[in-house]
């Protein structure tokens, strides 16, 4: 199965109410399990995210001047290149369009997430090694 089809399949399963899925083709098989009963130690910030990753939110007047970078896939978020590295970004950093803000690991592939905007990092909405969903808000940016 081609990688683009695998990614599309992951997104489709993530957006459905399925909790597990198995696909076999020849000698290859793919098994997905989603824990929909995640318990957070702290209540996550509630924020309306756009329908398409990397687009501006406009859920109220305060957010109309903010941008939200969202996850383009389901996976594990990493804030740095390695455990011993500094995080890609921190609250208060000035970032440029195309700058890496983190990595989402999906099926052992490390996918660099880039900012679609120039601005100041106002909030990092996920922690290192958090599981993230497709479309989940990762970072909130205030434009310059």
- pLDDT computed for residue 45 by the predictor: 42
Position 4 scores a pLDDT of 77
Q: Which of 111, 113, 106, 103 is nearest to 82 (CA)?
A: 103
Note the pLDDT of residue 105: 93
pLDDT at 64: 63
Q: Per-residue confidence of the chain (144 residues) as pLDDT tens digits?
A: 677 777 777 777 777 777 777 777 777 777 777 765 544 444 444 344 444 444 444 444 455 688 999 999 999 999 999 989 999 999 999 999 999 999 999 988 999 999 999 999 999 999 999 999 999 999 999 998
pTM: 0.57
Spatial neighbors of 45 by CB under 8 A, at least 6 apart, are 123, 125, 137
Q: Please give the structure tokens belonging to residue 64.
A: 């109309």
pLDDT at 91: 95
Phi, psi of 88 (to 5 degrees): -60, -40
Asked if 69 contacts 113 with a C-beta cutoff of 8 angstroms, the reply is: yes
Q: What is the pLDDT of residue 15?
A: 75
Q: Is 136 exposed, middle or buried (0-12, 13-18, 19+ CB in 10 A)?
A: buried
């Amino acid at each position: 199965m081609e990688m683009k089809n695998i990614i599309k399949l992951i997104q489709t399963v993530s957006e459905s109410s399925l909790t597990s899925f198995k696909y076999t083709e020849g000698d290859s098989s793919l098994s997905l399990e989603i824990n929909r009963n995640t318990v957070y130690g702290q209540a996550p910030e509630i924020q309306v995210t756009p329908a398409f990753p990397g687009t501006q939110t406009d859920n109220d007047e305060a957010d109309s001047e903010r941008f939200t970078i969202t996850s383009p896939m389901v996976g594990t978020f990493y804030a740095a290149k390695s455990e011993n590295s500094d995080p890609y970004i921190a609250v208060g950093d000035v970032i440029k369009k195309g700058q890496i803000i983190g990595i989402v690991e999906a099926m052992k592939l490390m996918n660099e997430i880039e900012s679609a905007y120039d601005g100041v990092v106002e909030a990092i909405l996920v922690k290192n090694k958090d599981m993230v969903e497709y479309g989940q808000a990762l970072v909130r940016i205030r434009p310059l």
